Amino acid sequence: MSENLVIVESPAKAKTIEKFLGKDYLVISSFGHIRDLQKRDMSVDFQHGYQPQYVISEGKEKIVAELRKHSKTAKTVWLASDEDREGEAIAWHLQEALKLDPEKTKRIVFHEITKDAILNAIQHPRGVDINLVNAQQARRVLDRLVGYELSPVLWKKIKASLSAGRVQSVAVRLIVDREREILVFTTESFFKVAGTFFADKAPIKADASQKFSNEKAALELLEKCVDATFTVESVEKKPAKRTPTAPFTTSTLQQEASRKLGFSVSQTMAVAQRLYEAGYITYMRTDSVNLSEQALASAKSAILEMYGEKYLHTRRYTTKSKGAQEAHEAIRPSYMNNQTISADAQERRLYELIWKRAIASQMSEAVLERTIVTIGISGATEKFVANGEVMLFDGFLKVYMESQDDENDADSAGLLPPMQAGQILQANSIVATERFTQRPPRYTEATLVKKLEELGIGRPSTYAPTISTVIARGYVLKEDREGQVRPYKQHTLTNGKITEKVLSEITGAERAKLFPSDIGMVVTDYLVEHFPRVMDFSFTAKVEEEFDEIADGKIIWNKMIDDFYQIFHEKVEDALQNSQRATAERRLGVDPKTGKEVIVRIGRFGPLAQLGESEGEQKPQYANLQKGQLIETITLEEALKLFELPRTLGDYEEKPVTVAIGRFGPYVRHDEKFTSLKRNVDNPMTITLERAVELIEEKRKMEREKVIKTFAENEELQVLNGRFGPYITCAGINYKLPKNIDPSALTYEECVEIMSQQEGSTPRKSRFAKKAAAKKPAAAKATTTKASAAKKATTAKTATTKAATKKKNA
């Protein structure tokens, strides 16, 4: 029996803390929340102030039983979950579910998992902060009310299986609004004129001081330059400084990890969580840029040791973030003198980024000298301007430079040779290049987080799950898209002659950008029309501020819920009764071959094109829209091409090969078997017979290699190759293989041993199988379930008995 029981929410965190505490402390993980609202109903008591109805989370019964057993024998129970509202709620749920005695229960919090921080927390315990708990409860209840009342409206008015969320729907709206800005944007061309000159054989690049709205104006300047003299009119030198940015908050870490490391928002948070739990960094969910006095002293020591006194400049940043939560620290290394760590590649790269940002924030400014040279053109009022920059002292740039979101940032200014006013320059070439106005950029995960933070929507703990949710639900697509070839003109003046050529470039290519799906656009339009308050950015931000006020104890949480719900529920009832069904239907025109009308709309399984109407026994033809096509923008010609499928490519093995688009995407059909086309690689409209055969053979090879091993002792037991690697299957139940095991070398006895140590999992059923099961009478379902369970139990028992007998005989 341990005198002290410490409960944390993750095994990794428990393992790290255990190293700092003595034998009198037992550290156990709750594996996250142990209680939550039931999944199948609202679980909110409207008659008693919207009180949430909590139950032990599925699969957590054994953990709760173990925690309860240890808590009864411990003299003191320390609740050491994370320091934010979610962590406070976990501590409260543990206290309630385990029925902990308040006299022997203590709450401890810490910003970092170091020995000093843990021991200091033990010395300064407190009780559970019910205001923070209520703020988390208010968010949970409000999100449940919105989700569970809006979703049925969407099922009835748009399509089954849709869902809505208070923050997620607003995030989708941002992406939809941006896409519509792009769709209506008209690109206009203009001309930029740039020259290369020589000053005593040293090259200088300079740009015309203005842009030209048309080709004629740009050519007129080139004509003026044919016989012109180019004179330095002025040389202006200005001192300049660059100041480091503040240490990371959650959102700035997500943005910078995306730009510098290519991490997704959820990936950044997962890696940061591991770093925190291993004791490498401070808590990673924070909107504070503050550093503790201890951290400042540690950074000072590290900078003096590594770079010297001239690089040191201590700064105390203050948090200006709208609605910033509790007084957390910024994200920083736990030990500032550790420039790197021994960890996997992702963890090491993110740690080094955090270290550089934190250390740079306490370093000297970079000192620069900027030079602006104005070059006059004889006989013309236009000027050329050259910009140069010299680094006099690198300061914090020795360690770190922040990246930018702007995709069209110009190259930084270079070094200019010495020049003086009145100096004549020699023109080498002057080039007028056609350029184009840039449409608004689509959001990346990082820039969406930045926008949400600017609007005050969501908090550090919600950014990553919000984005993951809208992508998982199919409202938003995260993908790459190919650009298009665009021609542009270029006029070049060299040796007194002007030449013209037409060049080309790729425009509109996108990488890891967020696009709204058709269903995302339809749902957004419907919600904006019928629930404008829920979809309003300012209102959503105001709700976040009210959560902050609940956390501060300024307002009562269920009063805030009631104020929202009374108005919201009326809107729900009104929409169910009076709103029209939304299909986003567009009539594109008539097919010239058949005379039938072509329509695009939302169908049962998503956006589709329809050729003709139902007339007696004659049914319309349907075709799914392809990647990149939207109901709002698809043309009649593009829609008609969809009906060219299925397309016969030729024969293989004396059997036809066809390509078509099905419910789950484009596929090749051959010998009554189906092979999916590769996403972002194959196009059903252009795929060749040779490529189709390649895909067919590739699938055959995978199927041949699927079975790694079978056993005569039990035909149902197999070792197979799966999507995520080798696994064991027996009687319809799958079992994971431990790491560093050669699946082809497994014996029957070893497989049985592995199976006996796991519960196993059943393969996921298709939606059709689930529907068929749901339609069975209750008695039939019960009989089937019992028979299946009995069969599995018998199979497993037989397998184990055979193995034991064989082992004994051997």
Contacts of residue 793, defined as CB under 8 A and 6 or more positions apart, other chains included, come to none
Nearest to 80 by CA among 37, 30, 41: 30
| Contact present, 646 and 658 (Cβ < 8 Å) | yes
Q: Which residues in 740-778 are b (16+ Cβ under 10 Å) and which e?
A: eeebeebebbebbebbeeeebeeeeeeeeeeeeeeeeee
| Contact present, 26 and 99 (Cβ < 8 Å) | no
Kind of pairing between the strands at 4-8 and 76-79: parallel
670 vs 657: CA distance, rounded Å: 5
Nearest to 756 by CA among 707, 793, 710, 723: 793
Kindly list the strands in the beta sheet with 621-624, ordered across the sheet, starting from the edge strand earlier in the chain: 586-590, 597-603, 606-611, 621-624
| Contact present, 283 and 478 (Cβ < 8 Å) | no
DSSP per residue, 347-401 = HHHHHHHHHHHHHHTTBPPEEEEEEEEEEEETT-S-EEEEEEEEEEE-GGGGT--
Instruction: Tally Cβ neighbours within 10 Å of residue 301.
Output: 13
Q: Give me the torsion for CA of 707, 708, 710, 715, rounded to 10°.
A: -30
Q: Which of 54, 280, 283, 311 is an active site residue?
A: 283
164 vs 170: CA distance, rounded Å: 10
652 vs 658: CA distance, rounded Å: 10
DSSP-derived 3-state class of residue 424? strand
Is there a catalytic annotation at residue 283?
yes
Cα Rg of the chain, angstroms: 33
Q: Give me the torsion for CA of 765, 767, 772, 773, rounded to 10°.
A: 50
Report the helix count and the strand count for the chain, using DSSP H and E: 22, 30
Catalytic residue ranges: 283
